[in-house]
Amino acid sequence: MRMVPRRRWSCIALSLVAIPGLLAVAHAVSPTTASAEAPFLADNQAAMDKMMAGMDIKPSGDADHDFAEMMIPHHQGAIDMAQAELRYGHNERLRRIAQEIIVEQQQEIAAMRLALGEPLPPSVAAPDQPSNLSSGAPGPSGMRATGMPATGMPAMNLHKEP
């Protein structure tokens, strides 16, 4: 076993004590910034809580079933977090990535459900989409009551809420 010199241990110990304090200072935010970010953080925490609860399954003895039962809430959590980014984020690159996450994760959830022989859930409007359309016909925006545009592809709201 190689011995670490006492001086090196002192540096390591000092780093372990100092780094958390420096990180806290580096990541400190003003109360105004923290309160402005509170809705985003609350949405993300709710998504994480829902995801973790959904992933806590009782094993069935079927690895395929159990895998899908855990991955579906995991993917839904990614969708929920991406929707929070679209609601509150400002970085256009990250917002575009969030849109891609939503589409890709929805497709993977559908593929897992189909692989298990489960029916697909009905289409509904995304939380950041208008939901006051009551008929199946496209409304003025081209949206159907199912939350799907007249084209049949999922709609993506690229605009932040005011």
pLDDT per position as a tens digit, 74-95: 999 999 999 999 999 999 999 9
Give the whole-angstrom CA distance, residue 151 versus residue 143: 9
pTM (two decimals): 0.59
Beta-strand ranges (E) seen in 13-88 are none
- Beta-bridged to residue 149, according to DSSP, are 143
Token pair recorded at residue 153: 């592809």
Give the DSSP letter of residue 154. P
Q: Domain locations in the chain?
A: 36-115
Contact predicate 109/51, CB 8 Å: no
Contact predicate 128/86, CB 8 Å: yes
Contact predicate 106/82, CB 8 Å: no
Mean pLDDT for 64-75 is 96
